[in-house]
Amino acid sequence: MSRTYHRDSRGRFATQDSNNNGLMQRKDKNTGEFARFPLVMQMKTIKKIARKYKIALKDEDGKPIKIKIVRDKGAISAPFTGRADIKNRIDLLPRAFTSEEDMARTLYHEKLHLRQYKEHGQAYVQNNRQWFEDAADKAEVDWWETVKHL
Ligand SMILES: [Zn+2]
């Protein structure tokens, strides 16, 4: 393999191997602490999986749902993959990037929580957290059965 040096489009030096796939600043995989997660932690990945499993990244009124990728080392060991924020936002934790299934189920599940907040109010949902969690879990399991073949 011959290596050449060149500047990438931002003027930084990067190495490149002879078949053009060896850019060091690659964006096709996660690096460092996040290298263990197979899905690349970027919006493109999320949108692609949402499209595949027919999850609209919009609420019932057609307003876009904000997505935040939590690139926080401390979140790697969190026991959940996502969280819903009352302000129409879904936070995706690193473990959501484990597989397409994890990503799809997380998006679907957290969207249900956004809807619960909207329909019942944040206080009521949080005061009855377990009931709403169980409802979201059950809906998520049923939904996955209908789309997992995609
Ligand atoms: Zn939940």
For the chain, give every domain's residue range.
Answer: 1-30, 39-147
Local confidence band at 143 (pLDDT 50, 70, 90 cut-offs)? very high
- All residues with CB under 5 Å from ion ligand 1: 133, 136
* 20-31 confidence digits (pLDDT tens): 444 444 578 999
- What's the 69 CA to ligand 1 centre distance in angstroms? 17
- What's the 133 CA to ligand 1 centre distance in angstroms? 5
CA distance 93 to 91: 6
Tell me, what amino acid is at 118?
K
* pLDDT recorded at residue 39: 97
Q: Is the pLDDT of residue 12 over 70?
A: no
**39-147 topology per CATH:** Zincin-like (3.30.2010)
Nearest alpha carbon to residue 93 among 78, 108, 115, 111: 78
- What's the 116 CA to ligand 1 centre distance in angstroms? 11
pTM score = 0.81
Contact call for residues 112 and 129 (beta carbons, < 8 A): no
- What's the 130 CA to ligand 1 centre distance in angstroms? 9
Residues 6+ positions from 69 with CB-CB distance below 8 Å: 41, 42, 43, 46, 92
For 21, the token pair is 């796939």
Q: Left (φ > 0), alpha (ψ -120 to 50) or beta: where does 20 sit?
A: left
CA distance 42 to 6: 26
Contact call for residues 78 and 92 (beta carbons, < 8 A): no
- What's the 111 CA to ligand 1 centre distance in angstroms? 9
Q: Is the pLDDT of residue 114 over 90?
A: yes
